[in-house]
Amino acid sequence: MKKNKKTKIELASAGQGWFYSEKVKEHFFRPKNFMKADEEKKIKANGLGMIGSPACGDVMRIWLVVDPKTERIKKLKWQTFGCASAIASTSMLSVMITEKGGMKIEKALKIKPQDIIKRLGGLPAIKYHCSVLGDKALRDAINDYFRRTGQIEKIQPEGSRIIDKILKITDRDIEKAVMDGATTLKEIQKKTKVGLGDKSCLPEVEELLRFYREKYYKK
């Protein structure tokens, strides 16, 4: 009897007591709506979101193109440095958001990780957290759209994340410093003192500086 060949994902999980569904494998090997390097300058995004830690490797970025007249999300592009489950989850999320002419923001905000997992045909329990990355990055991008369009009252902020563990400086403190005009690491440090107590966080501060500069000031 001829043995079935296992995929790379199945081989990687061998001995762990779980396998990925066919739908997960489809979205991992052929991800939908992934933002390619040459596309970023072409897409006219009016919502930009990021979640995760560049220092740890699990980072999710999402670009949205929202029709301001209907508030339907016409395009959702994404990038991540996460695992196979994170890639598949975000790929599926992008399909759910943009299918049938685009989902309205009001409905998109109600999407839960469980909804993504259901459309994927399930995920191993130890990988459920991966579906949360795209979900949170989507809400961050929608908040950015609300901010850009002056709908401040609709913003639903996520909890902040500590960057400098000694001085307890958060990513929101970095964001505020950029919004207050900081354009360099030195200016960020002058406003927040970040890195004076924990120098190991400086690479992440620089990454956040670039991200928030792009988010708020890129034309």
How many angstroms separate the CA atoms of 140 and 208, rounded? Answer: 14
How many angstroms separate the CA atoms of 93 and 87, rounded? Answer: 10
Question: Is 201 a catalytic site residue?
Answer: no
Beta carbons within 8 Å of 19's beta carbon, 6+ residues apart: 9, 10, 13
Q: Which of 204, 59, 219, 56 lies closest to 133 in space, CA to CA?
A: 59
How many angstroms separate the CA atoms of 206 and 54, rounded? Answer: 10
How many angstroms separate the CA atoms of 33 and 126, rounded? Answer: 26
Q: Which of 56, 110, 157, 181 does the annotation list as catalytic? A: 56
Q: Which of 129, 121, 133, 131 lies closest to 19 in space, CA to CA?
A: 121
Q: Which of 45, 108, 130, 208 does the annotation list as catalytic? A: 130
Question: Is 130 a catalytic site residue?
Answer: yes
The SS3 call for residue 40 is coil
Is residue 50 within a helix (H) or strand (E), and if so which, with residue range?
strand 47-52
Under 8 Å between Cβ of 73 and 65: yes
Q: Which residues are catalytic?
A: 56, 130
